[in-house]
């Protein structure tokens, strides 16, 4: 142990710290290999129209099954990719897979998550443009989802990046609104094409009145700025009803489908009545 600057606090040597660092390093090595071997997979979560529950879009989500360990959550491996310089490669690999897939689904739109770290590469926008050309996908069908951190930390650079991506025809959504600071100032300033309400806010609806009012105010504000709203993490019919009435035009969550394989999405498209029946039931129930 050693005394910390004479302020009376003690830092204790903890062997677990080394272990943690080591296992993190090993995970980084494994992730690098997995990307190089093309082992990162993409699953697709349904996004439905809030009124009809028709499938309108899918969100691409990265999946990694680590050899000898099993599945690793993106909440674990995405941050590792971000701090180890792997996010550029990972991001482009997800984008190109998802665009190739979208080529088989002419009636759907797609959203793909983008990390701030990807903008650090000055060639990022060129790589994105090339990926679209290769897949022959119209950029207007694709929304890039970004969280607020980048817009708060480097607003100037974020604006430049956003303008360049938009000039390709892409749309930009603000992801996870309500999970962090979520100041409305930059919502107006950046003019996002869509806002996604974080699932923590959606799930707070079950806790009653105040939460419902907060959510209604948030959606109303976005709409007054002309920004359409998707709600994430919708798990119950009650949540779906509240969100639809509040003015969300799109819903996403386990109620409509988990992230799933391309084959499962294709199967879902073959039986659209299943989702529509659910919508009709809700309308009957007063939604
Ligand atoms: P996100 O972009 O906000 O994605 C939504 C997350 O919520 C997904 O978690 C999804 O599986 C989960 N989710 C959807 N509906 C429900 C629900 O009804 N209940 C609950 N409990 N969860 C629901 P996932 O796939 O684990 O991804 C976590 C995060 O990792 C994503 O959050 C995104 O920020 C990041 N991520 C995933 N794939 C990528 C990627 O390819 N690139 C980047 N940069 N980030 C990614
Ligand atoms: Mg997202
Ligand atoms: Mg989100
Ligand atoms: Mg998220």
* Mutate which of 231, 232, 255 for ligand 1 pocket (most atoms within 8 A of beta carbon): 232
pLDDT at 1: 43
Helices 15-36 and 74-83 sit at what angle, rounded to 10 degrees? Answer: 90
The predicted-structure confidence for 175-203, as pLDDT tens digits, reads as follows: 999 887 777 777 888 889 999 999 999 99
pTM of the model: 0.93
- Minimal CA–CA distance to 60: which of 112, 100, 108? 112
Q: CB of 73 closer than 6 A to ligand 1?
A: yes
Q: CB of 199 closer than 6 A to ligand 1?
A: yes
Task: Name the residue at shortest CA distance from atom 17 of ligand 1.
Answer: 233
**Residue 272 is encoded by which pair of tokens?**
């659209």
Nearest bound ligand to the CA of residue 74: 1
Name the residue with tokens 């956003």: 162
* Mutate which of 78, 111, 116 for ligand 1 pocket (most atoms within 8 A of beta carbon): 78
pLDDT at 2: 46
pLDDT at 283: 73
ipTM confidence score: 0.98
Residue pair 218/178 in contact by the 8 Å Cβ criterion = yes
**Residue 145 CA, ligand 2 centroid: distance in Å:** 5
**Residue 269 CA, ligand 4 centroid: distance in Å:** 26
* Calpha distance 222→187 (Å, rounded): 8
- Classify residue 278 by burial, with Cβ atoms within 10 Å: 0-12, 13-18, 19+: middle
165 confidence band (pLDDT: 50, 70, 90):
very high
**Residue 258 CA, ligand 4 centroid: distance in Å:** 15
Residue pair 126/164 in contact by the 8 Å Cβ criterion = no
Which residues does 39 contact at the CB level (< 8 Å), separation at least 6?
A: 64, 65
Task: Name the residue at shortest CA distance from atom 21 of ligand 1.
Answer: 233
Q: Which residues surround ligand 2, an ion (CB under 5 A)?
A: 113, 145, 175
Nearest bound ligand to the CA of residue 116: 1
Q: What percent of the chain has pLDDT over 90?
A: 72
Q: CB of 198 closer than 6 A to ligand 1?
A: no
DSSP-assigned beta bridge partners for residue 47 = 57, 252
Residue pair 54/86 in contact by the 8 Å Cβ criterion = no
What's the mean per-residue pLDDT of the chain? 91
**Residue 7 CA, ligand 3 centroid: distance in Å:** 42
Q: CB of 257 closer than 6 A to ligand 1?
A: no
The predicted-structure confidence for 34-67, as pLDDT tens digits, reads as follows: 999 999 999 999 999 999 999 999 999 999 999 9
* Calpha distance 2→13 (Å, rounded): 8
- Minimal CA–CA distance to 141: which of 105, 174, 116, 114? 105
**Residue 5 CA, ligand 3 centroid: distance in Å:** 42
DSSP-assigned beta bridge partners for residue 143 = 111, 171
Q: CB of 94 closer than 6 A to ligand 1?
A: yes
């Amino acid at each position: 142990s050693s005394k910390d600057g004479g302020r009376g606090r003690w830092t204790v040597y903890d062997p677990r710290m080394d272990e943690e660092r080591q296992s993190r390093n090993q995970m980084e090595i494994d992730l690098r290999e997995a990307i190089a071997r093309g082992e990162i997979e993409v699953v697709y979560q349904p996004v439905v129209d809030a009124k009809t529950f028709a499938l309108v879009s899918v969100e691409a989500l990265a999946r990694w099954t680590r050899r000898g360990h099993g599945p690793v959550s993106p909440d674990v491996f995405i941050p590792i990719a971000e701090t180890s310089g792997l996010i550029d490669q990972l991001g482009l690999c997800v984008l190109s897979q998802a665009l190739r897939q979208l080529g088989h689904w002419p009636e759907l739109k797609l959203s793909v998550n983008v990390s701030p770290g990807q903008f650090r590469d000055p060639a990022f926008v060129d790589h994105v443009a090339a990926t679209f050309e290769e897949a022959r996908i119209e950029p207007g069908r694709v929304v890039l989802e970004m969280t607020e951190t980048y817009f708060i930390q480097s607003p100037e650079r974020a604006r430049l990046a956003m303008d360049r991506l938009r000039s390709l025809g892409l749309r930009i959504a603000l992801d996870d609104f309500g999970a962090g600071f979520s100041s409305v100032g930059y919502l107006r300033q950046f003019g996002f094409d869509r806002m996604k309400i974080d699932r923590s806010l959606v799930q707070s609806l079950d806790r009653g009145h105040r939460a419902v009012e907060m959510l209604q105010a948030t959606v109303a504000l976005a709409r007054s700025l002309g920004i359409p709203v998707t709600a994430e993490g919708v798990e119950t019919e009650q949540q779906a009803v509240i969100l639809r009435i509040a003015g969300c035009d799109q819903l996403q969550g386990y109620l409509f489908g988990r992230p799933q394989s391309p084959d499962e999405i294709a199967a879902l498209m073959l039986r659209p009545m299943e989702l529509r029946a659910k919508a009709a039931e809700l309308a009957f129930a007063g939604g």
